[in-house]
Amino acid sequence: MAFCYRQTGGGFGEKVKEYKVNPLAAELNDKIKRENPYLFDMLSDLGKELFFPKGILVQSAEAKEKAGKYDATIGIAKEGPEAMHLRCVMESINGLTANEIVSYAPSTGRPELRKEWAEEMVKKNPTLMGKATSLPIVTSGLTHGLSLVADMFVDPGDVVVLPDMIWGNYRMIFATRNKAEIRHHTFFTSEGGFDIESFAKAVKDAAREKGKVVTILNFPNNPTGYSLTEREASGIRDVFLDVAGEGYNVVAVADDAYFGLFYDEATMKESIFAHIADLSERITAIKLDGATKEDYVWGFRVGFITCGVGGDGDKPGLYNALERKIGGAIRGTISNCPLISQSIILRAMHSPAYDREKKEKYEIMKSRAERVHEVLADPKYSPVWQSYPFNSGYFMCLKLRTVDAEKLRKHLLDKYGVGVISLGQTDIRIAFSCLEVEDIQDLFDTMLEAVRDVESS
């Protein structure tokens, strides 16, 4: 038998649960406790029980290295040196071999892609240079990454702090599936920036009550399209340092789904993860990002999860233990992510056109955001809505002054054939990422006409 302890304040509390732990999980737990007992206490009960099985996958990996004569381990079919395949399948795909397309990927992802993504991550976030982080693990998109975070770090009753303007799927992942308590802070101040004071109060209150707090930092934000300034990012970092200094634990998740799409000069161009990774042994920073939006391959479902824990000791050993737990969570749910998507992304990242083509798409997105700002500056819209601040990403939001958001959404759809998203009673989300520059004026003029219709009905 093994015991699960929950931390209260500055030390370990009473024994709260007793259960059988697989010896492989116990080995990982012992490693994590030796290197960082605070990190061990941040793990959920499930997180403490997870491990990567030494079964078929491990034996197949060993055989791949040493079985030069016959390798009869992995559950695929082969013809000669290649994976067996249908020609009609391969005819649809150019430039990749059957072994890069139809075979299995490791549960944690193609090693070459993980290494390539890690190098790109540091290039895009130079503040990470010299900081000890884990090697990115491949996930099936960012939603899968969030689910892994929930399984690894969230127990029923744990508090997850989120802003009052969020992507709705957070509730499904953390509250519905993992039974966490969601607590909200105000996203914007009355002046229009990120509300550090409200954020600090929500985080500190939860940490003092529970001994641990989980929070999601989504920038560029969905639905508002807002990203932090350097000053705001420093404020968030200081909040976490204050909480850690009081003897409480922080799990800080950077949801970087729309990373890189920053359109304003005053906006910080790095992930908040770069500011909080490797900061304190009581702060576990987690970066969720991926090719989904960064490389415009939404259906490929190639995401990554990277950890950055502060403190000294054997960091490679600590990250290896975390990797084996996350790998076990992947193995126990989807087994592994599709190989073909990983292979295509890896091939694209090696292309000399990769950076140039991404810059071209970025400029298109930026021009759309700038056009939205230009159009909404017209005072004719002021009586009917107010624009929330936005400087990045795919989206922007309007706060309606005179009509109900859902009524307007339905009227726009039924009369004008225009689709937008209603959020609560007053807010409308618009994905300007879907709009050509020349159509943006017409969209808002149509919305204005629809508001007048609803007002008079």
207 domain residue, yes or no: yes
Q: Is 211 left (phi over 0), alpha (psi -120 to 50) or beta?
A: left
Question: Are residues 273 and 420 both part of a single domain?
Answer: no
pLDDT of residue 123: 97
61 domain residue, yes or no: no
Sequence-distant (6+) residues with CB within 8 A of 169 are: 143, 146
CATH at 258? 3.40.640.10
- Last residue of some domain: 312, 332, 349? 349
- Last residue of some domain: 302, 326, 349? 349
Question: Are residues 252 and 362 both part of a single domain?
Answer: no
Q: Are 74 and 58 in contact (CB under 8 A)?
A: no
Question: Are residues 172 and 314 both part of a single domain?
Answer: yes
75 domain residue, yes or no: no
Question: Are residues 284 and 365 both part of a single domain?
Answer: no
Question: Are residues 416 and 334 both part of a single domain?
Answer: no
> 69 is written with which tokens?
């004569």
Question: Are residues 422 and 390 both part of a single domain?
Answer: yes
Question: Are residues 370 and 275 both part of a single domain?
Answer: no
Question: Are residues 224 and 283 both part of a single domain?
Answer: yes
pLDDT of residue 21: 85
pLDDT of residue 13: 46
Give Cα 25 to chain centroid, integer Å: 26
55 domain residue, yes or no: no
Question: Are residues 318 and 408 both part of a single domain?
Answer: no
pLDDT of residue 8: 43
Question: Are residues 235 and 250 both part of a single domain?
Answer: yes
Question: Are residues 322 and 373 both part of a single domain?
Answer: no
Domain count, the chain: 2
Q: Are 17 and 44 in contact (CB under 8 A)?
A: no
Which residue segment(s) compose the domain that 217 sits in? 89-349
9 domain residue, yes or no: no
What is the gyration radius of the CA atoms in the chain, in angstroms?
Answer: 24
CATH at 373? 3.90.1150.10
Q: Average pLDDT of each block of 10 consecutive residues along the chain (457 residues)?
A: 42 52 93 96 95 75 72 74 80 88 93 97 96 97 98 98 96 96 97 96 98 98 97 98 98 97 96 97 98 94 97 94 97 95 95 95 96 98 97 97 97 96 96 95 97 95
User: Of 47, 403, 343, which Cα lies nearest the Cα of 420?
Assistant: 403
pLDDT of residue 92: 84
pLDDT of residue 14: 47
112 domain residue, yes or no: yes
pLDDT of residue 17: 55
- Last residue of some domain: 349, 376, 393? 349
54 domain residue, yes or no: no
8 domain residue, yes or no: no
Question: Are residues 234 and 314 both part of a single domain?
Answer: yes
